[in-house]
Amino acid sequence: MASDRLLGRKAIVTGAGSGIGAATAARLRADGAQVFTADVQGDVDLVADLTAEGANARLVEQAVAAMGGLDTLVPCAGISAFHPLEGHDDAYFLKVLDVNLVAVFRLVRDAAPWLKAAGNGRIVTIGSTTSSHGDEGLCAYSASKHAVLGFTKSVAAELGPFGVTANCVQPGAIATPMTAPAFTRMPEFRTFWENKAALRRLGQPEDIADVIAFLCSDDARFMSGHGVWVDGGAMVRH
């Protein structure tokens, strides 16, 4: 339900052209935040490949100019595809790390002075259940998502003295354009995740966006450094 709990917040959401990022931008706005959106495609404020040299610094600069400051970061941009370990080429492995990890590191680094100055900065990164577990065909993705969880914990430790919280939301299987091709190609994969979730359904982007909005709010002021599974109870089951 929309509220005014994020009134006055000035947020960057990346990956906002689709899926979880788009739902997050909408939810933060519905709760009163100003939101500056970025993606490599779609109807966003800045269209840019966030792995490009200087792209995150430009994003921070433009967001600050547009909103008059910056206190909240939600880097949602990410990529994923199934590639078996054997025959996995170097280029794709490095690209996954570049988008899912290095671009997040650069955005947080480049925005840190603004978040510290705000005194109540918020960072919500997007991990995955594969931040804590592995899966067949997802060695690059799982490596990147384990790393982003570790990165988030260290950021929480380092920026905590400045009032900044950093948490990592770990979605389960969510119905977005990222998962649609695999669910169409392998209907049994979709059924597996529907049945694995204690709530017996796939997640929707809004299921994740609502938790992100909570973590950006003052209600979550004493919560930092956590990985938070938002998976319909999938990972508590064998």
Which residues in this chain contact ligand NAD in the complex, by CB under 6 A? 15, 17-21, 39-42, 49-51, 76-80, 99, 126, 128, 171, 173-174, 176-179
Residue type, 83: H
34-39, strands of its sheet edge to edge: 46-47, 34-39, 10-14, 72-75, 122-126, 165-171, 227-230
Q: What is the secondary structure of 190-227 as a DSSP string?
A: HHHHHHHSTTSS-B-HHHHHHHHHHHHSGGGTT--S-E
Residue 141 annotated among the catalytic residues of the structure? yes
The dihedral built from the CA positions of residue 169, 173, 179 and 180, taken in this order, carries a sign that is: negative
Pick between residue 41 and residue 90 the one whose CB is nearest to ligand NAD.
41
Q: Please state, as a whole number, how many other Cβ atoms lie within 10 Å of the Cβ of residue 225.
A: 16
Minimum distance between the CB of residue 7 and ligand NAD, rounded to whole angstroms?
26
Pick between residue 40 and residue 159 the one whose CB is nearest to ligand NAD.
40
Q: How far apart are CA 23 and CA 235, in angstroms?
A: 23
Pick between residue 116 and residue 139 the one whose CB is nearest to ligand NAD.
139
Minimum distance between the CB of residue 224 and ligand NAD, rounded to whole angstroms?
20
162 DSSP β-pair partners: none
- Helix runs in 45-138, H state only: 55-67, 90-97, 103-118
Q: Which of 50, 74, 115, 141 is catalytic?
A: 141
Pick between residue 30 and residue 79 the one whose CB is nearest to ligand NAD.
79
Cβ distance 78 to 50 under 8 Å? no
Minimum distance between the CB of residue 163 and ligand NAD, rounded to whole angstroms?
26
Minimum distance between the CB of residue 131 and ligand NAD, rounded to whole angstroms?
9
- Which residues are known to be catalytic? 141
